[in-house]
Structure 1
Amino acid sequence: MILPNPHDAILNASPWVRRFAPLIQVDGVVLDLACGSGRHSELLASMGHDVLAVDQDVTAVGSVGNPLITPKHLNLEQADWPLIGSEFSAIVVTNYLYRPHLDQLPKMLQKGGVLIYETFALGNGEFGKPSNPNFLLNPGELLAFASRHGLKVVAYEDIYVDQPKPAMVQRLCAVKGELKQRIPLQFQG
């Protein structure tokens, strides 16, 4: 078995996550929700964060062997939210949407906690999968979500992207309470 190269995972991390990850305080645990291969878990661990990486299959992220990353197999789409009562200094979600538990995320953020969210938006079916509206954000949905929960929006986009593949995406970086870190002035791609 060939182990993944952490440097590759960091390079493959979403530019949105790389841009706003410096806002996360290093004094708590970061949740990488629906972590997939663990590219964002590895990025966050490389920045000194303890990371809880959860998904249906944590084989890839578990094989990394980074002591700052704790992989946890969870069914995120069961009737009861499996992370109830948990608190995090930040939550990172990419390429994942399950509306029945979406409102749980702000409840799990500590004061000053950062939410970095990026997933597919309505219109993505024109470019491929996902195309089912159940897995696509409606126009302004992340902004309405942030407003509903009193999150301070740091940045938001609802755009077409051509990398890593053509897609319609929405992106949000928001904070619960006051921002403790300075906002990066320049994108470091």
Structure 2
Amino acid sequence: MAEPSDWVRRWSHLAPAGGTVLDVACGSGRHVRWFAARGHAVTALDRDAEATAGLADVAEVVLADIEAGPWPLAGRRFDTVVVTNYLWRPLLPVIMDSVAEGGLLLYETFAIGNGGFGRPRNPEFLLHEGELLAAAKGLRAVAYEHGFLPEPPRLVQRLAARRTHANGPDPLRRELLETPDSPASSEGE
């Protein structure tokens, strides 16, 4: 079983505890298993029944060709949405809309220029610089990267973003500000 993406591992602590997770184009489920092992209810979405065959014990498996048919999860929102190594531009608004209020988006895929290192090479499947940021309407970026990764060599774009709460304070802002070394967390001590 492949290891979870470093990006997903780095930012998964921001996923609402015990919340729902959607893994789009999940393949064999490296991130499905990662989140399920941490107590999340996971929905695994992919078109390949063979790849997802071993996931039924840890996730709700939804088989659908999301490029050729309707979005199978219409109206559903998730506390965390994960997308890695996948890009189908017509679905970007649907994916962004699938992030619940207060929820987290973790997205990592290939960027323009990756063809010099391997597949994919087709520009239809490669992000332009800043494209994820532009697509993440209604979400607030927590972290964004666009650049070269050495192992294996590739050009990627990565985004961790939150859908802020419509009412009241943003719990992520409080979480980021109240680190053990921050004045906000040591007041009154």
Q: TM-score range by the shorter chain?
A: 0.7 to 0.9
In structure 2, stretches of 5+ residues that fail to align are: 180-189
Task: Indicate which of 69, 74, 77 corresponds to 2:64.
Answer: 74
| Aligned partner of residue 41 in structure 1, secondary structure | helix
Residue number in structure 2 paired with 1:54:
45
Query: Aligned equivalents of 2:118 and 2:146: distance in 1?
Result: 17
| Aligned partner of residue 63 in structure 1, secondary structure | helix
Task: Indicate which of 151, 170, 177 corresponds to 2:164.
Answer: 177
Task: Indicate which of 167, 172, 178 corresponds to 2:154.
Answer: 167
Question: Structure 2 matches for 1:52-131, cutoff 5 A?
Answer: 52-67=43-58, 69-131=59-121
Residue number in structure 1 paired with 2:182:
none
Alpha-carbon spacing, 1:48–1:58, altered in 2? closer, same or farther (3 Å):
farther
Query: Aligned equivalents of 1:16 and 1:100: distance in 2?
Result: 24
Query: Aligned equivalents of 1:79 and 1:34: distance in 2?
Result: 14
* Larger RCO, structure (CA 8 Å, separation 6 or more): 1
Provide the aligned C-alpha RMSD in A: 1.7
TM-score (norm 2): 0.84
Conserved in 1, the CA contact under 8 Å of 2:64 and 2:72?
Answer: yes
TM-score (norm 1): 0.84
Amino acid at match of 2:160: C
Residue number in structure 2 paired with 1:5:
none
Residue number in structure 2 paired with 1:44:
35
Q: How many equivalent residue pairs?
A: 171
Quick check: which has more Rg, 1 or 2?
2
Alpha-carbon spacing, 1:38–1:58, altered in 2? closer, same or farther (3 Å):
farther
